[in-house]
Amino acid sequence: MKQTFFLGLVALIVSCKQSESVYDKPYFDFDSLINKQHAALLQAKVTLTKTVTLGAAKEELSFEADSIVLHKELDVFRQLDIINKPGFKNEYKISDGEKDTRSNLTMRRYEALRPSYPVPYVTFYYQQDFNRLYKIESVYKEDNALYRTERNLLLEFDDASGKPLLVRYKLSGVQKMILSDSITFSVDGSFVPGIF
């Protein structure tokens, strides 16, 4: 009896894990983008230079980015994949083909039908073909009993090699913890490919 219960429990846990990670991605596959950039940055043996600001404190760091570092730095951008969850299907208006007035790039924009969604919008900037991405801008909001935060997210790419390679990322915003003051934060990172 105990063995049957244990096997049933294991089967239930495994089936729940699979159903969480596999779903149709109707808008844009952020997980895939981050995975590809992670691999490309590792192959390029990049150096990461980042400036971190928390309130009035500011620090600049520079180091070779290994797999663990890249995972930590880029993981926040995976949160944008929430727009692909089944609950948000058909909940974003898509506009494409508008020219950016500040550059020669074309924009594709996913805009939430309700401003209260965690990701109110995502704007992609590309040249001629959507596969030639140059920039992604978005906002990610989180509000719960312990804290409220809003993060402005930016990814910038260079396609000198024919494929977009992440060269810069930025996240900035404000976080308000319960019973404490709001804190402004910013992380601005640049990747420089290695010489060898």
| 154 vs 23, more confident | 154
Query: CA 86 to CA 130: how far, in whole Å?
Result: 24
Is 3 contained in some domain?
no
Which of the four pLDDT bands, split at 50, 70 and 90, describes residue 14?
very low
Is 12 contained in some domain?
no
Query: What mean pLDDT is predicted for residues 64-92?
Result: 94
The pLDDT value recorded for residue 21 is 53
**Beta-strand runs (E) in 5-100:** 47-54, 57-64, 92-99
Query: CA 73 to CA 182: how far, in whole Å?
Result: 23
The pLDDT value recorded for residue 194 is 81
The pLDDT value recorded for residue 141 is 95
For residue 93, what are the β-bridge partners? Answer: 111
Query: What mean pLDDT is predicted for residues 88-116?
Result: 94
Is 6 contained in some domain?
no
pLDDT(176) > 90:
no
pLDDT(29) > 60:
yes
Query: What mean pLDDT is predicted for residues 164-179?
Result: 92
The pLDDT value recorded for residue 145 is 85
Containing structural domain, residue 177: 24-192
CB 154 within 8 A of CB 80: no
pLDDT(123) > 50:
yes
pLDDT(32) > 80:
yes
Buried b (16+ CB within 10 A) or exposed e, 50-59: beeeeeeeee
Average per-residue pLDDT for the chain: 87
Split into its structural domains, the chain has a count of: 1
Contacts 24+ apart (CB under 8 A), 179-184: 183/54, 183/55, 184/53, 184/54, 184/55
Query: What mean pLDDT is predicted for residues 117-140?
Result: 95
Phi (first) and psi of residue 84, to 5 degrees = -90, -5
Query: CA 157 to CA 173: how far, in whole Å?
Result: 22
Phi (first) and psi of residue 146, to 5 degrees = -95, -35
